[in-house]
Each structure stands twice: as C-alpha cells, then as structure tokens.
Chain A
Amino acid sequence: MDFALLRDAFWGLTFDGLALGAIYALISLGYTLVYGVLRLINFAHSEVFMIGTFASLVASGIMGVKVEDDPRTGWKMVLTLLVCLLFSMAASAITAVLVEIVAYRRLRQRGATKLATLISAIGVSISLVELFRIITDSLPREFPRIMDKTFLFSYAGADIRNDKVIVIVAAGVMMFALERFISKSRYGKGIRAVSMDETTATLMGVNINRVITVTFLAGGLMAGAAAFFYILTYENTSFKVGFFLGISAFTAAVLGGIGNLKGALFGGFMLGILETYTSAVFGTAWKAVISFSILVLVLLIKPTGLFGESIQQARV
C-alpha cells in the first residue's frame, strides 16, 4: 500500500480521475435513462459506445486527417473536432434507436418477459462485437492526433493537460443540456411520465413508442459524446472497447441509483476518482477488487444506490 503516492500526487490523480469519470458518467446516463423508462438493462449500450468510437475514426478520415499528420491548429482543428464529435453522437444515437426497434420493441409489444428482453439485449451486444471484430480483423485501430496535447498549467504538482480539461468541461455541458431537456422539454416530461407510470401516461395521451425512441436517442447521443472524448484522450479503439467501459459505466449508474440522472453523474465521477486512487494506493491490479467491493458495500447500506432509483425523483 502506497498512501504516500496518493498524498504526493493527490491533485494530479484527482484531475485524471475526473476526466475518466466524465466519460463513465456520460455512458452511464444511457443505462440510467433506459432503465428509468423501461426497467430494462440495455446491455447493448456498451456497443452503442463502441460504434461511436469507430464513427469518430471515420469522421477523421472524411476530414482528411491522416495518422502520420502533425496535430491541427486554429479553426481547422476546432472544425475537425466538432465534426468528429457530431459524427460519433449521430452514429451512436442511430445505433441506439435501431437496437430498440429491432431487438426490444416487438418483444415489448407482445408482452414478452423481462428475461427474454434481457437475452435479446445480450444477443445484440455479442453480435455487434463479433461484427466489428470481423470488420477490423481483431486489430485495434489508431486515432490520429487532431489536437496537440500540452500542459496548460501546474497546480500543487498536478499538470493540467488541455485535452482532459476539454473532456471535463464539454461533458459537463452535455450533462447540463440533457438535464434541461428532461426537466423542461415536452419529450422530457413524457419520459418522466412514462417512468412514473406507463399505463397512466398512455391514458394521458403520451405516445409511448415515441417517448422510448427519444429515450434511446438521448442515451445514444451521450454515449456518442463519451466515445469521442474517449478516443480523443486515448487515441485508439477496438471491437472490445465497450466491454470494460460499459461495465464500469453500468456500475457507476447502479452506484448512484439506477434510473436516476444525478445518480449516474455522481456515480460516474465517483467511480473514476475511486479507480484512480485505488490504483495508486493498492496497485492497478487491485483497482477492480477495491472499487467493486465499495460498490457492494454501498448497496448493502443503501440498496437503491446513493441517490435512490427512478428518474422522477431526480427532478430539479
């Protein structure tokens, strides 16, 4: 155990943990939204994220960026980054909506059991992973460096790097936008209504199918943004990228209270920081053991997660 490292490099580790947590939080929003509305764990959500990372890769190609190029500067860089971000968000959102239509909608309309839907979700997830494994020849893909990575400033021994600042700030903006959408817009109201009581919402004239599509769309957009921020920071992806991140993000959602937006945000950031701290103190190999033990502990004390379940309670 190396508590001295945590003490000496505390702010650096915290900052890096926040950047990782921002990505977890964005993905976990998708799990939470779908669970809030359908009471379904969307296991294919990790692949919605994976497809987003590949979409960024395609977008960088369309923008003419080559792997061996020097990083871009000025408005060209901003434009390239924005195109990649929008491309990722669009691809993930479309995937999420398609998954819902193909794998869940018919099952739901025929009154299938939750178990059948769950298996359908796992099936979609595995087939998407295998499809991308075949397309990519099982090889990881590199993402070009669009933006030069520089240290902006140093605070208490922590070197603050530009790309991570962008990830944290942009993720915050996305989450704020989603929160406004859920609490203020007409569709947001619909989502909250369905998550409270599906039958009553239908009787009140809420179009369930449309609300569900919007839910998947919103979750997909967030996962797409996470995918872009991930590939911007780590600059590579592979067919299996969704698996580990998906599990972590799902854990974050449960930690905060699944079905609860604030919970997903808090859970994401908390897990990111927790993983970074435990890696420093106990060694990276112990990261999963310690983080997941804490998850079990939290659930033992508070079975509904830190913020409790369901979207309507997260209303501001």
Chain B
Amino acid sequence: MTKNRLVSLVATVGIVAASLVAFTPAANAACSGKLKIAYQGPLTGPEAALGLNELNGVKFALKKFLKANPKANVDATVYEVDDQGDPAVAGPIAPKVAAEECVVALVGPAYSGASKVSLPIYLSAGLPIITPSATNPTLPTFGKEIFHRAVLTDDYQGPAAARLIVSKNKKAKVFLVNDASDYAVGLQKTVDISLGSRVVGKDVTPNGTTDFTATIAKIKRSKATAVFYSGYFSQAAVFVKQLRDSGSKIVFASGDGTLDNQFVKLARKSAEGSLLTAPAIPFETASPALAKEMVAAGWTPGVYTTESFDAANFFFEAIKAGNTDRASINKYVSTKSFKGLSKTLKFDAEGEVSGADVNGFIIKKGKIVLLGAIK
C-alpha cells in the first residue's frame, strides 16, 4: 500500500513536471514553418467593429506584401487573437500566443486594459508588438523593450480637442458629456483641464443610454456654445441626432471614438459640421487609391485601419531585411524608422512614436474631411 502510494506520488510529480516543461513558452524557440504575424483585439462582442477595422488593415498589408514578395517565408493568413477588448479574456489567451513559436510579431492589442495584462507575458517571451490604438499613457511600463505605439496617447488628444474648439470660437462655452467608459473618462479629464473655466456643465450618459432628453435640457440651460462628447460613435450618433432634433444648433465635437464612417452613416444630416479629433487618420484620407483597392479586395477600412496597416508593414519591412526571429525583428522596429501612410514610425526609448500630430476633422456633406494637424 505504502509502496503503491509512493509510486503514484512519484508518477504524479513526474507528469506535472513534464507538463510544466511542455507548456512553458520558450523565448527563443525556433520556428520550423512559415513566420506568422498576429493581430490582437476585439473580433467578437460589442466592440468587434473596431477590432475588425484593424484586422482588415493588417490583412490588407499582408496581402500586398506577399504579392510584392511571393518568395517571402511568411504565412498568408494573419494569426487572429480575439480578446474581445476585455482584460479578463486577454489574460488566459496571451500565454498561448507567446508559446506559438512561429508568431514573430504582433499588431495590437487594440485596447489599453487588455494590453496591461498581455504585455508582461509578451515581454517575457520577447514578442515585439506595435499597438495601433491603445492610448493609455502608462503602457510602456508594462511592455518595456517590446512595446511600441503607432499613435499619440490621450495626454495629447484632449488638449488638441480643446484647442480645436476654441480655434473655431474664441468665446466658446463648452458642455462636457462622457459615456462612463475608461477611455471616455480619461479623455474628458484632459479636455476639461485644457478648457478650464470655459466648461459650463457636465453630464455622464453611461454606455447604452438611448434617451438624452435630460442631458439636452441641461445643455440648453447652460447656454453652452459647444458640446464635447467623449465616447464611441454609435452612441455619439444617437446623441447628436437628438440634440439636433431638439432644435439646438451648437457645435458638436468629439474624439477618436467617434471618428468612424459609421458615425456619419448613423447620424446623417445631424452629423454635419461636427468637429472630431484623433491621433489617427482615416484610410480614405491617407490614400484614396489604396482605400479603393482595399474595398475592391473585400475589406472595409475604418478608424485605425491606417495605423494597423502601417504597423504591419513595419514588421514586414523588418522581415524583408532578413530578420526572422522575435529578437531581431524587435531590434529592427525599435531602432529603424519606417515611412507609413499615417506618419513616419520612429519609436523613442519608451516605444512612443515621435513627431506625430493629433488631427482635426470636420463632417462636411456626409464625408469626414481632414482639417489637418491641430496646432
């Protein structure tokens, strides 16, 4: 009996040890097949629209790269990582991605919360990442040397939005509305600080609000000349429509969460004249010809498609230069620069892009028109 127990104990320990060895991701494991580029972001769930915009950019970049370099040792499909934009989902997935030895680079994660849990895992596996849209300023502390960001952080967008509103009306009085999400609250805070005494009122309309009657009554009573909405396009469209239907003609301004053709599509005439800001640039504006080609290939561009396209192309540039493992690709993107559609990607020691601008946009005749960099 005792002997049997001892045998089973030894066997159990052995199995556990063996499985530990088998499942620990090896940082320098060699890839025997084709190299893979991964994309991580929300691909299902309510946030899926944004993730699909980005994935389409990566897919389009891959297709173009393989067409130009048919002999490249790169897999023709993007390795898709669906974190639903949720840290709780991203946590268990990231180790699997890190253990996939042929994945040599990752575009993403799309969201800041999911990035915070994924980055330490990618750091220990040496997997280089370029995020096209996670804008939380603290991310470099989580990803250190493997972290790169193709857009400016929220620290820049808020003040730029404030400058844009004031540039249109020197005596602007602004009412602030946010949808209570992490992103919206953070962005509104920076807008609030920059506008200072120009802020005449605030309201929070949590994501899912369909009726804005009370908020609009408040705006009218505050005598504001402009409203800044911090949140995402679908609710922004509902809001601006109700605002216009109430007879109000004040300026409507919003951030990158609203910069999406869907916003114009949903709000239609009510969207006219809306001022938007984003550290991003729409694909159609960045390159009308490529946008046409992309649509013909079956992918619709949206917000952050351009930045994802650029991020993927920087990785392909590294592979083209003869880098075939995570470490050398990381070194390449960290030290070299790449002229993308949105901007020249040149990362500083923190992995932040330098020399980039926050762009201003206006909705005119149902189109998002670039006003240029906000000075």
Q: A interface vs B, CB < 8 Å?
A: 2, 5, 8-9, 12-13, 16-17, 20, 67-68, 133, 137-140, 142, 145, 149, 151, 159, 161, 234-236, 238, 240-241, 243-245, 275-276, 279-280, 283-285, 287-288
Contacts and interface: CB of A to CB of B under 8 A. Distances in A.
A140 B205 CA distance: 18
Contact of A284 (B214, B221, B246): B214
A151 B212 CA distance: 18
Interface in B193-248: 203-206, 208-215, 217-218, 220-221, 234, 237-238, 241-242, 245-247
A280 B217 contact: yes
Given A5-B217, A8-B221, A276-B213, A284 B238 contact: no
Contacts of A284: 203-206, 209, 212, 214-215
A279 B214 contact: yes
Contacts, number: 96
Contacts of B212: 284
Given A12-B217, A159-B247, A236-B238, A137 B206 contact: no
B180 interface: yes
A245 B209 CA distance: 10
Residue in B209, B213, B245 whose Cβ sees the most chain A Cβ within 10 Å: B213
Contact of A243 (B208, B215, B217, B262): B208
Given A140-B266, A283-B203, A13 B214 contact: yes
Given A67-B268, A244-B210, A139 B217 contact: no
Which 4 pairs from chain A and chain B are nearest by CB? Answer: A279-B214, A285-B204, A16-B213, A138-B48
A239 to B, nearest CB: 8
A133 B237 CA distance: 19
Contact of B262 (A13, A17, A139): A139
Interface string B257-276: 00000100110100000000
Nearest to B43: A138
Nearest to A275: B211
Contacts of A139: 49, 234, 262
A149 B262 contact: no
A19 to B, nearest CB: 9
B33 interface: no
Interface residues of B, number: 37
A20 B211 contact: yes
Interface string B38-64: 000000111111001000000000000
B245 A140 contact: no
Looking at A13, A16, A17, which has the most chain B CB atoms within 10 Å of its CB? Answer: A16
Contacts of A287: 214
Given A236-B266, A279-B213, A284-B215, A137 B48 contact: yes
A175 B93 CA distance: 51
A125 B64 CA distance: 42
B217 A9 contact: yes
Contacts of A243: 208
A283 B217 CA distance: 11
A159 B216 CA distance: 13
Contacts of B44: 133, 138
Contacts of A285: 180, 203-206
Nearest to B42: A138
A68 B205 contact: no
A245 B210 contact: yes
A2 B201 CA distance: 11
A280 B214 contact: yes
Contacts of B206: 284-285, 288
A9 B221 CA distance: 9
13 contacts: A5-B218, A9-B220, A16-B213, A138-B49, A139-B234, A159-B246, A235-B241, A236-B234, A236-B266, A284-B214, A285-B180, A285-B203, A288-B206
